Amino acid sequence: DAGVIQSPRHEVTEMGQEVTLRCKPISGHDYLFWYRQTMMRGLELLIYFNNNVPIDDSGMPEDRFSAKMPNASFSTLKIQPSEPRDSAVYFCASSMGQGMGEQFFGPGTRLTVL
Amino acid sequence: GNSVTQMEGPVTLSEEAFLTINCTYTATGYPSLFWYVQYPGEGLQLLLKATKADDKGSNKGFEATYRKETTSFHLEKGSVQVSDSAVYFCALLRSSASKIIFGSGTRLSIRP
């Protein structure tokens, strides 16, 4: 069974450009999480969805970031315009049920903004 | 509020050494506790978990016991291998919640 799929795996872009990161959760999972990981700030939860509905976006750093989940098998995280300080590894994770605990992480997208 | 505190790294050990990575937590109620591991270039993956006091989680030679009296969940392994080199995250989840609270991570390096 495929795990969480993220694309692209690596993205290099220039400041001011729009960046879209994609995630396909594990089939049957009803929770989807977006995280950002940097050396300075560690692992940060940006937003999470339950049944395609955003539940908590308090970790989204600013209005330049937006996330959508149009259906149960696809989510996007968009940064527009991108800035060098957005350079990080972005992870998507999914899980099943509330309070169940185990989140399954994708391999991450390494974003570099020049 | 809910939080997890784990020992700062990096931790460097020789192969076959004994490992302890300390983790303490603050939470209301009775959370579930986890250790996640992140190997280089990969996402996090669940290593072990414990859902109630005095439970012991174990996997791949690693163990951790849920100690409510000391609010701790220390990770141990009797004999580490080079392949255990990774970043280890302690985490908690309240029973009614969906959002896992992660610690800051501890980088472990094992010398051959």
pLDDT at position B40 = 92
pLDDT-derived band of residue B96, with 50, 70 and 90 as boundaries? confident
Contact call for A99 and B46, based on CB within 8 A: no
Q: Which residue has the higher pLDDT, B6 or A98?
A: B6
Contact with chain A for residue B43, Cβ under 8 A: yes
**Mean pLDDT: which of A53-62, B27-36, B55-64 is highest?**
B55-64
Task: Give yes or no for A2 touching B (CB within 8 A).
Answer: no
Touching check for A99 and chain B: CB below 8 Å?
yes
**pLDDT exceeds 90 at position A97:** no
| Distance from C-alpha of A8 to C-alpha of A20, rounded to nearest angstrom | 9
Average pLDDT over residues B60-72: 96
Q: Is the pLDDT of residue B60 over 80?
A: yes
Phi and psi torsions of B84, nearest 5°: -85, -5
B contacts of A48 (beta carbons < 8 Å): 98-99
SS3 A51: coil
Backbone angles phi, psi at A45, to 5 degrees: -80, 125
Q: What's residue A113's pLDDT? A: 97
Query: Strand ranges (DSSP E) for chain A?
Result: 5-7, 10-13, 19-24, 31-38, 42-50, 53-56, 65-71, 74-79, 88-95, 104-105, 109-113
Band of pLDDT at residue B30, cut at 50, 70 and 90: confident
How far is residue B106's CA from residue A25's CA, in Å, rounded to a whole number? 27
- A43 and B43 in contact by Cβ < 8 A? no
Asked if the model's pLDDT at residue A99 lies above 60, the reply is no
